[in-house]
């Protein structure tokens, strides 16, 4: 009498595990790149929104900036964009809010805005998630190493 044994041998199982390991080694880095690309895309979109909301703030506040003193060389003040304000930028009910919450740079998880006298150069290292240029009024983002990005 002959018994029919069914199942996989150890060698067959090892071959399948090796093949799965090779496939995982090929696929996992692609997911990492997609994640970084999504973060960069998020920051780019965030910058477009920030820039347009800053312009809207200026239009509604007699060319004042969302800074502590309303001048371009003042310290950045997120509350001017995230709360209702009057025409002077003080707490009020006339305008805003322009943003639902303080934006966080997805590349480095920072909400800090550093004001600089001039536009930063791409690659400049800045201790913040965003850079506000007092020369042009433009806002820039930094990457995971806090270097200014191209967008």
Q: Is the residue at 23 inside a domain?
A: no
Q: In this structure, how many other beta carbons lie within 10 angstroms of the beta carbon of residue 4?
A: 4
Q: Is the residue at 27 inside a domain?
A: no
Report whether 144 contacts 133 (CB < 8 A): no
pLDDT tens-digit map of 106-142: 999 999 999 999 999 999 999 999 999 988 889 999 9
Number of domains in the chain: 1
Q: Is the residue at 86 inside a domain?
A: yes
Residue 1 binned pLDDT confidence (cut-offs 50, 70, 90): low
pLDDT tens-digit map of 27-52: 888 777 788 888 899 999 999 999 99
Q: Is the residue at 15 inside a domain?
A: no
Q: Is the residue at 58 inside a domain?
A: yes
> Which domain, by its residues, includes 73?
44-141
pLDDT of residue 114: 93
Q: Is the residue at 92 inside a domain?
A: yes
Q: Is the residue at 39 inside a domain?
A: no
pLDDT tens-digit map of 50-104: 999 999 999 999 999 999 999 998 899 999 999 999 999 999 999 989 999 999 9
Distances (CA, A) of 12 to 21, 24, 25, 128: 14, 19, 20, 54
């Amino acid at each position: 009498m002959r018994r029919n044994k069914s199942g996989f041998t150890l060698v067959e199982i090892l071959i399948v595990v090796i093949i799965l390991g090779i496939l995982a080694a090929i696929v996992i880095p692609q997911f990492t790149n997609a994640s970084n690309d999504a973060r960069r895309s998020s920051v780019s979109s965030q910058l477009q929104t920030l820039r347009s909301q800053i312009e809207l703030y200026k239009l509604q506040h007699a060319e004042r900036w969302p800074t502590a003193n309303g001048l371009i060389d003042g310290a950045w003040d997120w509350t001017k964009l995230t709360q209702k304000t009057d025409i002077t930028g003080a707490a009020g009910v006339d305008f805003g809010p322009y943003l639902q919450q303080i934006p966080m740079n997805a590349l480095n998880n920072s909400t800090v805005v550093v004001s600089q006298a001039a536009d930063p150069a791409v690659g400049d290292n800045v201790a913040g998630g965003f850079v506000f240029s007092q020369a042009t009024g433009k806002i820039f983002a930094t990457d995971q190493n806090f270097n200014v990005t191209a967008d």
